Amino acid sequence: MNADQSSLSPRLWFALGLALGVGAALRLAEFAALTPLDVDEAMLGLDIAARGYAGLLQPLDFGQTAPVLFLWGTHLATRLVGVGEVALRVLPFIAGVVLPWATWKLATRLLEPRAAVFAAAFTACAPILVRYSSVAKPYAVDALVTVMLVGLALDTANQPERARIWWRLLGAGVVALLASQPALFVLAGLTAALALDPRVRRVPGWMWRLATAGAAWSGLFATLYFTLYRRVATDGYMRQFWAWSFLSPGSPSLVERLPLIARETLFPFFIGSRPHTLAVIVVVLAFWGVGAVGLGRRLGRWAMVLVAGPVVVALAASAVHGYPISARLMLYAAPLLMLMLAEGVVRGIGWLRRPEAARVAWGVVVAWLAVVAEAAATRRRPAPDVPSLVPLLRRAPPPATPVYVLANALPMWAFYSTDWAAPDTSRLRWLARLAGPGGPAFHNAPARGRPRADEAATLVGHWGARTEIIGLATGMQKRDLAGLARSRPDSGWVGEEVARITASGDHEVWVVLGFAFSHEADDLLAGLESARWERVYERQAQDASLYRYRMR
């Protein structure tokens, strides 16, 4: 079953080295850019930085979830190098750099040499894998855990008579569940694959060993789910946000949504852009089908289940409204998708009888890789540059001038305005209550019609000597795939916010804006100016801005 790595031709060694080098360079450039934290990163970063190890065993604030070992590892990084982008992103970066090499090592055990190199190359250049290697979320770690588990499953299939191999697989599954939430799908797939493998079935007691491992993994996941994940998984807001990304039979417009789900999930892996055509989706799905069937014919049904099973389990979970399908949530399956694609491409090119046609086809594959790498290198999504504005406010006299913070910018503001050398924990708890799902300042709250006066009662605090006025949620909710529910803030939102700013009792105010979905920032500034507030200072940053207004 294993491909002989020593049989790689010099050309393939060069291609592999080039692919791994390009992948590492792309990830290093992304990491070294030290872009500010986006909304999700800031919310998870607040949990990690503000809690201790024991606190990270409790359900997180801001509607966040993450596996325990990822939280602990990242918290340790903040202790070692300080709270900031580097510490929060170092684990995804390490996982992202290692992943192409790990995928190649796994592929050499299942594919022929050219296909293994091709799988590594696409893993190295995939735009979404490059991007999430520098995002303070566990998705890149999920993908590396998948490679580890599938590799250990192959070890078990090769030596099923050794009890030590089974114990190692059981222990690795336990660690994987603590390090990766979708590891459950991978464990389900490898369990089915081992049960189908004739070599395993010939060993006495194989069923008991597999059942023991499955029971241990299921029990641990159930414990994690009911203690840590269930609150978010069943939260009404989360269900609403992901409503279009479930594959539940009978759900509204499912047939019409399927091409959208496929495009938004596949293109970040294999294209990097979004041409409005179904042809690319059909081609990629065809390659996957050919690759999965090819593995089954060459190695046996168990190999097809081992590689395709974790993806099928996720689709089944989505069909029962248990797991939304989106690019970042399917990142755990990236190595398996690359293996199937590589097998399908090599088999497809192998069907070409004329050598000239095969050479042209391989040229197309190389060009495809170049396009994907270019997309990974150039199409970054910058986050709101709130951190460049905070020092300006810290130094700005007089220190008692109030500051208003738009609700959309609140997670980034809370993270970057905190002195992490001596954090104000009571303020952080207050902001967490405001900025989480259901809170009056949640950045992605649904429309409420008109703001209620009682909502604003708890939205005034203190940041040092300054009064801190936290903005009410605008009601411009954005949902996955569906986009914005409305293009303007709730009726009366602007008037309520201007009244609150005016009621602060000061003749001047700072205004921090960021991560505006559409017109809410412009509407708020227009409302201030029509209420006899005059703009006396302005500083623009990437998707963020700072203003100073004075009452005329």
Torsion angle of C-alpha atoms 303, 304, 310, 312, degrees rounded to 10: -160
Q: How far apart are alpha carbons 352 and 350 in whole angstroms?
A: 5
If you average pLDDT over every residue of the chain, what do you get? 92
Higher per-residue pLDDT: 442 or 458: 442
Give the pLDDT confidence of 80-125 residue by residue, as tens digits: 999 999 999 999 999 999 999 999 999 999 999 999 999 999 999 9
The mean per-residue pLDDT over the stretch 237-257 comes to: 89
pLDDT band at 269 (very low <50, low <70, confident <90, very high): confident
Q: Kindly state the average pLDDT of the residues 315-336.
A: 95
pLDDT by residue (tens digit) across 118-154?
999 999 999 999 999 999 999 999 999 999 999 999 9
Does a cis peptide bond (omega within 30 degrees of 0) precede residue 398? yes
Share of the chain above pLDDT 90, in %: 77
Asked if the model's pLDDT at residue 399 lies above 90, the reply is no
In this structure, of 53-62, 159-168, 231-240, the range with the lowest mean pLDDT score is 231-240
Residues 6+ apart with CB under 8 A from 421: none
Which tens digit of pLDDT belongs to each residue from 300-323?
A: 999 999 999 999 999 999 999 999
pLDDT band at 481 (very low <50, low <70, confident <90, very high): confident
Query: Is the pLDDT confidence value at 274 over 70?
Result: no
Q: How far apart are CA 481 and CA 75, in angstroms?
A: 32
> What's the pLDDT at 255?
87
So what's the pLDDT on residue 103?
97
- What is the average pLDDT across 333-338? 96
Q: Residue 224 is which amino acid?
A: L
Residue 386 token pair: 């709130």
Q: Is the pLDDT of residue 1 over 60?
A: no
State mean pLDDT over 413-437.
Answer: 95
**Ramachandran angles phi, psi of 5, nearest 5°:** -65, -30
Question: For residue 378, is pLDDT > 90?
Answer: no
pLDDT band at 16 (very low <50, low <70, confident <90, very high): very high
pLDDT at 96: 97
Cα–Cα distance for residue pair 374/271, rounded to 1 Å: 10
* Local structure of 67: helix, strand or coil: coil
CA dist 95 to 130, 138, 146, 251, 457, Å?
A: 11, 10, 11, 36, 44
Q: What is the pLDDT of residue 275?
A: 56
pLDDT at 4: 54
pLDDT at 3 exceeding the cut of 90? no
**Which one is predicted more confidently, 2 or 369?**
369
Rounded Cα distance between 66 and 550, Å, is 44
Q: Domains (ranges, CATH) in the chain?
A: 5-378 (no CATH), 386-551 (3.40.50)
CB atoms near residue 291 (< 10 Å): 28
184-230, pLDDT tens digit by residue?
Answer: 999 999 999 999 999 999 999 999 999 999 999 999 999 999 999 99
How far apart are the C-alpha atoms of 329 and 224, rounded to whole Å? 18
Question: What is the Cα–Cα distance from 543 to 514, expressed in whole angstroms?
Answer: 6
Instruction: Decide the pairing of beta strands 460-463 and 466-470.
Output: antiparallel
Amino acid 6: pLDDT: 56
- Banded model confidence at residue 276, pLDDT cuts 50, 70, 90: low
pLDDT greater than 90 at residue 516: no
User: Region 349-359: what's the mean pLDDT?
Assistant: 90
Mean pLDDT of 427-452: 88
3-class SS of residue 279: helix
